[in-house]
Structure 1
Amino acid sequence: MTDDAMTVTTASGAVRGIDDKGTRMWLGIPYAAPPVGSLRWRAPVAPTPWSGVRDVRTFGPAAPQPDLPVMPLGDSVAKSEDCLSLNVWASSSIPPGQTRPVMVWVHGGAYVLGASSQPLYDGRSLVESGEVVLVTVNYRLGAFGFLDLSSFSDDEHVFDSNLALRDVVAALEWVRDNIAAFGGDPEAVTLFGESAGGGIVTTLMTVPSAQGLFHRAIAQSSPATSVYDSVRGRRVAELFLDETGVALEEVHRLRELPTDEITRATFALFDHIPTTAPGTLAFAPAVDGELVPDYPVETFRRGQAHPIPLLIGTNKDEANLFKLMRSPLIPITGDAIRSMFDRIAVERPELSVPPEDEIYAAYDGVGDKARGLAVARDIGFRMPTVWLAEGHSRIAPVYLYRFDWATPFFRMVRIGATHATELSYLWGNLKGNKLDPTFMLGGRSTGEAVSARMQRRWLGFATAGTPDAGSGAPQWPPYETTRRHTLVIDDRDRLHEDLDGDIRMAWGDEVLSFP
Structure 2
Amino acid sequence: MSTRVFDTLPDEAAGPVVRTENGDVRGRQEGSVGVWRGIPYAATAGGPNRFRPPQPAKPWEGVRDCYEFGDVAPQSAGFVPVDSGLQVGEDCLWLNVWAPVGSSDEPRPVMVWIHGGAFCLGTAAQAVYDGRRLAETGNVILVSVNYRLGALGFLDLSSLGGEFTPNLGLHDQIAALEWVRDNIAGFGGDPDNVTLFGESSGAGCVTALMTAPRSAGLFHRAIAQSPPATTVFGPERGAVVAKRFLEILELPEDRAAEILTMPIERISTAAGILLDEVPAREPGRLAAAPVVDGDLLPGYPSESFQHGRSHRVPLLIGTNKDEASLFRVFRSPIMPVTTDAVNTMLREVAGQHPGMSPERIAEIASAYENVSNLRGALNLSTDAAFRMPSHWVANAHSEHSPTWMYRFDHATPMLKAARVGAGHATEIPYIFGTFGSFDHDPTFWLGGRKIAQEISGRMMRRWAAFAWYGVPAAIDGSKHWPHYHAADRKTLLIDAADRVVEDPDHDRNSVWGDQVVGFF
Structure-1 residue corresponding to 2:337: 332
Q: Does 1:411 align with 2:423?
A: no
Structure-2 residue corresponding to 1:166: 171
**Distance (whole Å) between structure 2 residues aligned to residue 146 and residue 352 of structure 1:** 31
**Distance (whole Å) between structure 2 residues aligned to residue 352 and residue 367 of structure 1:** 20
Choose which of 115, 128, 137 in structure 2 pairs with 1:107: 115
Q: TM-score normalised to the size of structure 2?
A: 0.94
Structure-2 residue corresponding to 1:56: 66
Q: Which amino acid aligns with 2:154?
A: F
Q: Does 1:513 align with 2:518?
A: yes
| Contact 2:128/2:438, CA 8 A, preserved across alignment | no
Cα 1:460–1:353 change in 2 (3 A) is: farther
| Contact 1:351/1:510, CA 8 A, preserved across alignment | no
**Distance (whole Å) between structure 2 residues aligned to residue 353 and residue 409 of structure 1:** 40
State the 1:358 CA deviation.
Answer: 1.3
Structure-2 residue corresponding to 1:141: 149
Cα 1:130–1:409 change in 2 (3 A) is: closer
State the 1:4 CA deviation.
Answer: 7.1
State the 1:334 CA deviation.
Answer: 2.7
Displacement over 6 Å in runs of 4+: none
Choose which of 85, 97, 102 in structure 2 pairs with 1:93: 102
Q: TM-score normalised to the size of structure 1?
A: 0.95
**Distance (whole Å) between structure 1 residues aligned to residue 225 and residue 361 of structure 2:** 28
Aligned pairs (5 A) from 1:335-346: 335-346=340-351
Structure-1 residue corresponding to 2:7: none
Q: Does 1:309 align with 2:314?
A: yes
State the 1:226 CA deviation.
Answer: 0.8
SS in 2 for 1:355: helix
Q: Does 1:368 align with 2:373?
A: yes
**Distance (whole Å) between structure 2 residues aligned to residue 230 and residue 409 of structure 1:** 44
Q: Does 1:445 align with 2:453?
A: no
**Distance (whole Å) between structure 2 residues aligned to residue 391 and residue 450 of structure 1:** 29
Q: Does 1:118 align with 2:126?
A: yes
Q: Which amino acid aligns with 2:310?
A: A
| Contact 1:60/1:85, CA 8 A, preserved across alignment | yes
Q: Which amino acid aligns with 1:17?
A: G
Deviates more, 1:121-130 or 1:342-351: 342-351
| Contact 1:298/1:512, CA 8 A, preserved across alignment | no
| Contact 1:205/1:305, CA 8 A, preserved across alignment | yes
Q: Does 1:76 align with 2:81?
A: no
Cα 1:251–1:506 change in 2 (3 A) is: same
SS in 1 for 2:500: strand
Q: Does 1:497 align with 2:506?
A: no
Q: Report Cα offsets for 1:176-198 as digits up to 9, x if no partner.
A: 01100111100000000000100
Q: Does 1:25 align with 2:35?
A: yes
| Contact 2:320/2:407, CA 8 A, preserved across alignment | yes
Aligned-pair identity (%): 49
Q: Does 1:233 align with 2:259?
A: no
Structure-2 residue corresponding to 1:14: 24
**Distance (whole Å) between structure 2 residues aligned to residue 502 and residue 263 of structure 1:** 43
SS in 2 for 1:375: helix
Q: Report Cα offsets for 1:196-219 as digits up to 9, x if no partner.
A: 100100100000000100000000
Choose which of 204, 207, 229 in structure 1 pairs with 2:209: 204
| Contact 2:138/2:464, CA 8 A, preserved across alignment | no
Choose which of 142, 150, 164 in structure 1 pairs with 2:158: 150
SS in 2 for 1:125: helix
Q: Which amino acid aligns with 2:117?
A: G
SS in 1 for 2:12: coil
Deviates more, 1:336-345 or 1:184-193: 336-345
Aligned pairs (5 A) from 1:256-275: 256-275=261-280
**Distance (whole Å) between structure 2 residues aligned to residue 136 and residue 353 of structure 1:** 44
**Distance (whole Å) between structure 1 residues aligned to residue 271 and residue 370 of structure 2:** 40
Cα 1:361–1:341 change in 2 (3 A) is: closer
Aligned pairs (5 A) from 1:430-469: 430-433=435-438, 435-469=440-474
State the 1:364 CA deviation.
Answer: 3.3
Q: Does 1:127 align with 2:135?
A: yes
| Contact 1:316/1:402, CA 8 A, preserved across alignment | yes
| Contact 1:297/1:513, CA 8 A, preserved across alignment | no
Q: Which amino acid aligns with 1:120?
A: V
Q: Report Cα offsets for 1:128-149 as digits up to 9, x if no partner.
A: 1462101000000110101112
Q: Report Cα offsets for 1:272-302 as digits up to 9, x if no partner.
A: 0011111100111001111101111111112
| Contact 1:208/1:291, CA 8 A, preserved across alignment | yes
Q: Which amino acid aligns with 1:60?
A: G
State the 1:354 CA deviation.
Answer: 6.3
| Contact 1:220/1:313, CA 8 A, preserved across alignment | yes
**Distance (whole Å) between structure 2 residues aligned to residue 419 and residue 72 of structure 1:** 14
Structure-2 residue corresponding to 1:295: 300
Aligned pairs (5 A) from 1:481-496: 481-496=486-501
Q: Which amino acid aligns with 1:144?
A: L
Q: Which amino acid aligns with 1:170?
A: A
**Distance (whole Å) between structure 1 residues aligned to residue 106 and residue 475 of structure 2:** 25
**Distance (whole Å) between structure 1 residues aligned to residue 282 and residue 160 of structure 2:** 24
| Contact 2:353/2:517, CA 8 A, preserved across alignment | no
State the 1:98 CA deviation.
Answer: 4.3
State the 1:65 CA deviation.
Answer: 2.4
Q: Report Cα offsets for 1:382-417 as digits up to 9, x if no partner.
A: 000011110000010111000000001111111100
SS in 2 for 1:117: coil
Q: Report Cα offsets for 1:452-486 as digits up to 9, x if no partner.
A: 01101100101111111234421001101232110
Deviates more, 1:9-18 or 1:429-438: 429-438
| Contact 2:138/2:460, CA 8 A, preserved across alignment | no
**Distance (whole Å) between structure 1 residues aligned to residue 120 and residue 84 of structure 2:** 20
State the 1:365 CA deviation.
Answer: 7.1
Give ranges in structure 1 of 5+ residues lacking alignment. none
SS in 2 for 1:335: helix
Q: What RMSD in Å do the two structures reach over aligned CA positions?
A: 1.8
Cα 1:366–1:148 change in 2 (3 A) is: closer
**Distance (whole Å) between structure 2 residues aligned to residue 430 and residue 4 of structure 1:** 30
Q: Which amino acid aligns with 1:459?
A: A
State the 1:60 CA deviation.
Answer: 1.0
SS in 2 for 1:128: helix
State the 1:350 CA deviation.
Answer: 5.6
The number of equivalent residue pairs is 510
Cα 1:443–1:55 change in 2 (3 A) is: same
State the 1:173 CA deviation.
Answer: 0.4
Structure-2 residue corresponding to 1:186: 191
